[in-house]
Structure 1
């Protein structure tokens, strides 16, 4: 997968479209919750498959001492190709470049083992976000 840190309007639209498909259409998250005030100031990433089709997206913010990984998603028909792992790796590299040593995310509980396999540790109990159970996880980079 070719992962780009969003630099153009088209790349941003590609990232937003993937998020809309995964979170709004597939998981029934209301659009007004999915797209929020942090989109304007976040660093966005978009991943393209070998044919150039956008298939993965995420955003990164810096909150307190953490790089906060958010809105990580991969289109359903290409899951299982390690695209989520790859985009997280790019986000972690950017966190280190910015001088931070810790990453944090609020992951959906069904993906908790996926994040654990990438070195994240659960540090909260379960909570609901957009009607979906989540846990907070952290990783020292």
Structure 2
């Protein structure tokens, strides 16, 4: 039986370190990717995801960057001893759900060519040309999730404090809401009525 893990958005430096450690093991050690190609300034601005066992052992990671109209899924990696246990499916579903909560329905990624079938199970399709870096063949893949297009769970015009919620738990009240600073944002309906 596969050990239980918690997949979550990184909240602190310990979790960030664990995410980076998984990437170093998978990309630098296993795939011999140079440090200069694996870690970049986007690590400071991307949403980092980590999967951890109850004992605190890092298992998997990925990061997400948000662009105008689409989310880019990057650096999805799982330590070798945890592969084949369904964690990649859990991780990808977690990422897609997180991005859908933010209103994204268009997803983009660079997949190693050998993993294209995995992403195609979720509706991703190959676009563009094949390319190579760090001695691995990659494909550009896109998922346009028409069926999942929906109003984001929080957006301009909703109650103002919703936009102050922590990245890792947009469905839960943030500290300002818990301290009685919540306001109802009704101007969105008025604004939309004028359009």
- Structure-1-length-normalised TM-score: 0.94
**Which of structures 1 and 2 has the larger relative contact order (alpha carbons within 8 angstroms, sep 6+)?**
1
Cα drift, residue 103 of structure 1: 0.8
2:137 counterpart residue number: 133
| Residues 28-56 of structure 1, C-alpha deviations (whole Å, 9 max, x = no match) | 11011100111010000001235442110
Q: CA RMSD in A?
A: 1.2
CA distance, structure 2, for counterparts of residue 78 and residue 25 of structure 1: 16
Higher share in strand: 1
Residue in 2 that maps onto 1:115: 119
Helix, strand or coil at the partner of 1:80: coil
Mapping of residues 19-58 of structure 1, within 5 Å: 19-58=23-62
**Structure 1 counterpart of 2:91, from 87, 92, 113:** 87
Aligned to 1:71: 75
> Structure 1 unaligned runs (5+)?
none
Aligned to 1:5: 9
In structure 2, C-alpha distance between the alignment counterparts of 1:131 and 1:37, rounded to whole Å: 22
Task: Tell me how far apart the structure 1 counterparts of residues 140 and 116 of structure 2 sit (CA, whole Å).
Answer: 9
**Separation of aligned partners in 1, 2:125 and 2:7:** 25
| TM-score, structure 2 normalization | 0.69
Match of 1:102 among 103, 106, 116: 106
Return the alpha-carbon distance in structure 2 between the equivalents of residues 78 and 50 of structure 1. 14
How many residue pairs align between the two structures?
141
Structure 2 segments unaligned to the other structure (5+ residues) = 146-195
